[in-house]
Chain A
Amino acid sequence: MVPIAWYLVLSAILFSIGVAAFLIKRNIISVFMSIELMLNAVNLTFVAFAHMWHQVSGQIFVFFVMVVAAAEAAVGLAIIIAIFRARNTLNVDQVDLMKL
């Protein structure tokens, strides 16, 4: 039996990598992937706790997160393609029109 703390530490490491990548990476697709990483880090926590408490709701929640992530991926990729077509770049630092 693996202690719960291990799962949580792993999850925290994955999440932190996701955050760091989100902040550091300039390529939109990399940013996108780091978001997925954070989501799955959270999913890992859910599953770990569901296993610990023998509750199914955590597992169900993970399904919902996956569904939302899939939808988000569809919309996000569509936006990325649109941006690339319009501005011919994938660098987020160059996509900064929405400001005062």
Chain B
Amino acid sequence: MNDLHLWILPIIPFAGFLVNGLLGRRAPKPVVTAVALIGSLLPALWVSNLVVRFGSLTLPHVETYGTWIVSGAFHANFSFQLDQLTLVMLCVVTGVGFLIHVYSVGYMADEEGYWRFFAYMNLFLFFMLTLVLAENFLLMFVGWEGVGLASYLLIGFYYNRDSAANAGKKAFIVNRIGDFGFLIAMFLLIAHFGTLNFGSIFDTVATHPEWQGAGFLTAIALFLVLGATGKSAQIPLYVWLPDAMEGPTPVSALIHAATMVTAGVYMIARAHVLFDFSPVALMTVAIIGTATAFFAATIGMMQTDIKRVLAYSTVSQLGYMFLGCGVAAYSAGVFHLVTHAFFKALLFLAAGSVIHALSGQQDMRVMGGLRKKIPVTFWTMTAAVFAISGFPPLAGFVSKDEILYQAFIAPNGGKILWAIGLLTAGLTSFYMFRLWYMTFFGESRKAAEEDHGAAVHARSDTKLVLEADPHGGQGHAHGVHESPKVMLIPLIILAILSVIGGWMGWPEALGGGNWFAHFLAPVAALPQAPTGDRQVEILLAILSTLVALTGWFVAHYMYYMKPGTADRLAKQMRGLYALIANKYWIDELYGAVIVAPVLFLARWILGVLIDRAVIDGGGIVAGATAQGFGALVARIQSGNIRSYAGWLALFAALLLAGAYFGWIAHFVPR
């Protein structure tokens, strides 16, 4: 049954990682490029082969390559599985992954550590493919941890910059909290099912309708949600993602927008049987998702760093996916995952192109008027902005609307979730057009002045490594310039996908077939999905389009017609502005409530009290005891032969007496 050779998919990027990681330092650049591109292209081709053969398969297709762990009745295999959900994820990971690899060839061309970057990227692909292909929770966890590792390495790519190193550590540690949840969930699964295989667990659950709402299933699902909030940057663990923007922009696009952060959504969709049985966990997912979507969108409105706007936008969109999963519309959540992968990857890559054009400038306040100077970037970015804002018929409209509609028809307070989701859609539209106007319209603000000499200065705080490269200035010193073709082609492809990508899930109410939902139905649909009114769906679609238009109009007014409006508003509502501009002081709150006590515990309780006083003190006391006792006993060695003889005689006599009276008989082994 191993005729699909799924193992090829992760092995190829891993080979690419090994080659580039071990030999890349000395290899010439074209070789590194070729290895990295082959390492990402071949899996993509293999996936397209799978797509072609998909129709003739019996699903789910499971391939087992060997036994990993056997412990009593518990088995864990190296086994991969292919079903509709996996195939969707494979297409996204390898497709977008390959495009971003191509883009990176141009973007990273002048960077120190080119080989290191591509080695890590291939390593990421390896782990991500393991994650989505895994047939049991344990192997999935390997991929889960592995992508965390790759993410850490790539966030800290500019390791000589303190902020990047710290951001990497923050991402890793925050994710560790989520992983704790995942681990506990796995322990509970082993305790209750004795296995971690997807198939056997889900089948067992499905055949026990009486478990509906059972406490242990709810506990497992809630711990899985904790894991998902870590990886997918949801409240309360979202804080690492904005900081992760310290990594190179293609990394932000691939790992922190399109693929890795969606692992949580994938995991929930994969384990949806467990969630179907625990309404509490589902509700938690929906509430977390909605709250995160709204919360992150408000922060995104105030950010000035182009990548940070996109980061908060990613958090917000992931919230939508959680909302979709939380109202048991898993295919809607996964559909948004797919379209989001297209347009958010595009947004990041286009932002990278802007940053590249401005020689490393990321502050939107000094951008502007770039529309004519970098037209391809502008047009592709425009497609992405319209897509994410939810204008029909672009991808974001279709998937976001599907989620909002499913929320609307969901029982138990779905209308409230829908209302907040709709408001968030307006905010999304607003902050995306704010970004659009600030970057591409108006006068060329400071960017114009920095065309020449000052550009070097602007670069120094963002692309430090590039700065150190003597060739880095070549081609950059001529001011604003369009990116090379190798960067533009992926942009164009992603722009096309952002426009048409949604059509595969075009809702039936609007005359489509919603092919995507039908495709995923065998793995993600509920037996009794709630159905709604066609008119309602059309009405909701019109409403959300109007909301998106409103967001656009407000942004148009504030940043195009009357550019000073934003500052005036900020002055009028100083308290609110300060609250949001400082990201609700969440980082500070976590710092005070969690980090400071942990540091206190580590430094004073564990460091001083336990380590210095107890452990070190114990050593000192033990040493001193031995020394003191030794000093005492050393007096016996007087050098006087007759005193030795006396001791000898004394103890011989004692021994004799002991033997005679039977005192020592108990201590002598018989």
Contact = CB atoms under 8 A, between A and B. Distances in A.
Interface in A9-26: 19, 22-23, 26
Contacts of A22: 642, 645, 649
A98 B645 contact: no
A99 B642 CA distance: 13
B645 A96 contact: no
B638 interface: yes
Contacts of A23: 642, 645-646, 649
A96 B639 contact: yes
B528 interface: no
A31 B637 CA distance: 20
B637 A100 contact: yes
A95 B640 CA distance: 7
A99 B646 contact: no
Contacts of B649: 19, 22-23
A96 B634 contact: no
A97 B641 contact: no
A92 interface: yes
Contacts of A31: 641
Contacts of B639: 96-99
Interface residues of B, number: 11
What's the dominant secondary structure at chain B's contact region?
A: helix
Contacts, number: 30
A96 B638 contact: yes
Contacts of A99: 637-640
B589 to A, nearest CB: 64
Contact-residue bracket for chain A: 10 to 19
Interface string A79-100: 0000000000000110111111
Nearest to B646: A23
Contact of B642 (A93, A97, A100): A93
Contacts of A26: 642
A85 to B, nearest CB: 18
Contacts of B638: 96, 99
Nearest to A20: B649
Contacts of B645: 22-23
Given A22-B645, A23-B645, A96 B637 contact: no
B541 to A, nearest CB: 96
Nearest to B649: A19
B640 A96 contact: yes
Interface string B473-508: 000000000000000000000000000000000000
- 6 A-B pairs closest in CB distance: A99-B639, A96-B639, A100-B634, A92-B641, A96-B640, A98-B639
15 contacts: A22-B645, A23-B642, A23-B649, A31-B641, A92-B640, A92-B642, A97-B639, A98-B637, A98-B639, A99-B637, A99-B638, A99-B639, A100-B634, A100-B635, A100-B637
Given A22-B642, A93-B640, A100-B635, 16 more contacts: A22-B645, A22-B649, A23-B642, A23-B646, A23-B649, A92-B640, A92-B642, A93-B642, A95-B641, A96-B639, A96-B640, A97-B639, A98-B639, A99-B637, A99-B638, A100-B637
